[in-house]
Amino acid sequence: MAIALLFFAFTTILGWSYYGEQAVTYLVGEWATHPFRYLWVLVVFAGTVLPATQLWLLGDIANASMAFPNLIAILALSGVVVSMHKLGDDPGHGHPVHDYSRHDEEAPGE
């Protein structure tokens, strides 16, 4: 069981490091991969020496920092969503953009 846990922990660290590196490369550019790798090594090391309560606090802060901009965007776009919902109540809306039943040919995939 300990070996399985070791492999799970190791592959999780590798997977998240790759995911984070790809996100940093997409958002900032290729130049940021090396600083990200150094920061990642520090974070992994900190995860081994810090108490669990501090790690959970850091995780909560990281999740809040991702949720906060999304909540602002949701509030900013709430008027658009309400107006689109009102348009959806119109009987003319809600139909497919292109309906193959009006053509003599078969629909793709049939």
Is the confidence at residue 90, as pLDDT, over 60? no
Question: CA–CA separation, 16 vs 20, rounded Å?
Answer: 6
Lowest mean pLDDT among 5-9, 18-22, 94-98: 94-98
Give burial (CB, 10 Å; 0-12/13-18/19+) of 95: exposed
CB 9 within 8 A of CB 29: no
Percent of the chain with pLDDT over 70: 79
What is the per-residue pLDDT across 8-42, written as a single tens digit (0 to 9) for each? 999 999 999 999 999 999 999 999 999 999 999 99
Lowest mean pLDDT among 44-48, 64-68, 81-85, 104-108: 104-108
What does the pLDDT read at residue 80?
Answer: 86
Question: CA–CA separation, 88 vs 32, rounded Å?
Answer: 44
Is the confidence at residue 110, as pLDDT, over 60? no
Is the confidence at residue 88, as pLDDT, over 80? no
Question: CA–CA separation, 66 vs 75, rounded Å?
Answer: 15
What does the pLDDT read at residue 10?
Answer: 94
